A and B are shown apart, each in its own frame.
Chain A
């Protein structure tokens, strides 16, 4: 075992995708995710896969839709403005019950925003990746290694559920160089092609019809929506992932995901040295959101929740508040627009809150 490499986050997830059996990528250039298409443009042909530089994000996600319909593990990646354009295709993937993986290496917004990192796409990712009221699982790694691991397993979830899977990272994580331990290549054969796929590779003589469509009668559509609702509920009991950090005795609990969780951990360690009992809950799945761990905190001990995000205003706030149920105050700290969270800024902000504003000096 052990295929250790020093890689940029974006390259690491591209390689992880290949090893997960991804054999199709379509995408359109946008910073800060360009390393993903650049890497896959040469890497996919090496393993018999196909890479297409689409004419737009709209076209690219629809290419993914076509490839996914053939049972091929397909990927696209983009950032903010491009993800908005992919909304159409992501909704159609959910409608036609097609698995695919979409990566957002997010940047400052709204609009064109900035090319610098930001966590401004939480609400888009978790509430409405497109029209029509569907959801996708949303994974939010906080290191290159975790990104590799989550991407490596993403198609297993997507194929299990016949639903797209979304990976939400930000420009920091996409561009930091870290050591990663790469998993082995999954060798997928014809037998691994799902039965619903529109491929006749196995059986050219088959004479029944294969079809996939996002168009249904009203009654069928309602039935599918109801089934999807059940699936989202099952995610909450089966698939929630989060990390606890110094939580046991914590009087203040930081909730932060992705890059914000890493900066927060540094600040928490510093505050602990000074005797402040601060801990962290780090959602790894943003959808399903780790509701229970926040709901079940001992609010006779917890004096405050601190939502730290690299966006303004904080977007996770309402999801947290629905679990806290006014049992303690919820504070927010963030930076936005491509201005980065830094150790000192987060430390000062947390210190101010946990010291009850007494540490203004």
Chain B
């Protein structure tokens, strides 16, 4: 535990992420868990469109980069013809909860045996900070300059809550990456999801609450505080579904 080393799946290229962006921490956690499970070589990362697409530069493991929102569809094709690979998709909130809503809900409902890691930063980071389906009420973005107004834009979508209404998914959980405790829980959650996939239990979903210092116009440190006061109260962390517990 004391040893600090580069994860085997992070290539030695400079990170493309903005300083303080939690996408890089999330990526690191995934890589660490795959190392720990001895699955680094067997894993296949389905890289979506958004800031996560920067991963094509420095994800050192196997990957397939796919169209905006379609990662769960592509992962379905992959896993159906190559069930022995550990397959996961890494998607942002615009990618997963707007343009890809049909794909994520349908893959979850079919109980596809792969894992989706969902990085929820409440904005469209890559395109410059527009409103995402997860943008908080009143949150200022480049397309909600007076703050998100639910009367015309609806309310932030809670994906864990939605997906956990489905029967098929094996594991659905949300963690916040703004504290050491949250980070450790997230690591355990990702591990659990991958283990369930390896046991063939079906669809696993891990939502990670992340930040966007650049488009939130806050310093990295301030984004962590903002998450405590704004994000976490709305997007409640926790385990929403666990087939092992539910079966008891």
Contacts and interface: CB of A to CB of B under 8 A. Distances in A.
A138 interface: no
Nearest to A211: B63
B67 A62 contact: yes
Given A62-B66, A211-B63, A213-B63, A206 B41 contact: yes
Contact of B81 (A59, A67, A212): A67
A185 interface: no
A23 interface: yes
A40 B70 CA distance: 23
A213 B73 contact: no
A214 B73 CA distance: 16
A66 B82 CA distance: 10
Interface string A58-77: 11101111111110101000
Contact of B64 (A23, A72, A213): A213
Interface residues of A, number: 41
Nearest to B65: A213
A24 B80 CA distance: 8
Contacts of A60: 73
23 contacts: A50-B80, A59-B103, A59-B106, A62-B77, A63-B73, A63-B74, A63-B80, A65-B67, A66-B75, A67-B81, A70-B78, A92-B66, A198-B82, A199-B82, A200-B41, A200-B62, A201-B84, A205-B41, A209-B61, A211-B56, A211-B64, A214-B66, A214-B67
Interface of A: 23-24, 26, 50, 52, 54-56, 58-60, 62-70, 72, 74, 88-89, 92, 96, 198-201, 204-207, 209-215
A213 B46 CA distance: 10
Interface string B41-79: 110101100000100100011111111001001111111
Interface string B102-120: 1101100010000000000
A188 B190 CA distance: 36
Interface residues of B, number: 33
B66 to A, nearest CB: 7
Contacts of A68: 77
A67 B83 CA distance: 11
Given A58-B73, A66-B77, A198-B44, 11 more contacts: A26-B77, A50-B81, A54-B73, A63-B77, A65-B66, A66-B74, A66-B79, A69-B74, A92-B67, A199-B85, A213-B63
A50 B78 CA distance: 11
Nearest to B40: A207
